[in-house]
Amino acid sequence: MSKYRKNKEEEGNPQNPYFIDKFASISPRFKIGFLKFWLAGMTCFLAFMGLPSRFDYLDRIVMYCLLMILGVEYLSNSIIWWMNNDKSNTLKYLPHTFKRRSALSILMTTVYVIIMVVFTHYFLHFWVLLGIPTIGDLISESTVDPFSFAFVYLLFDFIWVKSRLLLLRLKKKKD
């Protein structure tokens, strides 16, 4: 603890056990958003720029989907599940609510990832057809870049999560 800061107990307030953790002050939605952005960008980088040139675009898309299925199921969903506590309900950021690490959960994650990748691909394709530059066009004249793919993926994930929550509220209101 810095010698310039006063201890919280000395001021009469109970000490926060997470005071030394600088990430505790960041909202869980920003942490989860960054995690999803990073996962989408990292897997795009691995699938599109990490494979040798003998692989065509469809092979790269399939590799991207496989990496995203594993990343969402075992990395992203696990971290979102672990972040859940009494103060912040992070389970609402999950793409589905099926039992974790079951066959049905992997199947639903596969459906979720395929839908997200298809929408992201066609949105970026439409974006390029309109003549609007992507981040990769601005930086290195490459239309497939991890940043654009991750931003669009995050946009569609936001729409997916909000739609799922809206459907759950409507279902609850109906019952």
- The stretch 136-145 carries a mean pLDDT of 72
CA distances from 62 to 2, 22, 86, 110, 114 (A): 50, 38, 39, 12, 9
Domain positions in the chain are 27-174
pLDDT at 145: 83
Question: pLDDT tens across 2-56, in order?
Answer: 544 555 445 555 665 555 666 777 888 999 999 999 999 999 999 988 888 888 8
Q: Three-state SS across 35-72?
A: HHHHHHHHHHHHHHHCCCCCCCHHHHHHHHHHHHHHHH
- The stretch 121-143 carries a mean pLDDT of 81
- The stretch 79-91 carries a mean pLDDT of 88
Angle at 83 between CA 82 and CA 89, to 5 degrees: 120
Q: How large a percentage of the chain has pLDDT more than 70? A: 85
pLDDT at 39: 96
Structure tokens that stand for 75 in this block: 């990395």
pLDDT at 5: 52
Question: pLDDT tens across 53-74, in order?
Answer: 888 889 999 999 999 999 999 9
pLDDT at 8: 47
**Separation between Cα atoms, residue 128 and residue 100, nearest integer Å:** 38
Asked if pLDDT for residue 116 goes beyond 90, the answer is yes
Asked if pLDDT for residue 84 goes beyond 60, the answer is yes
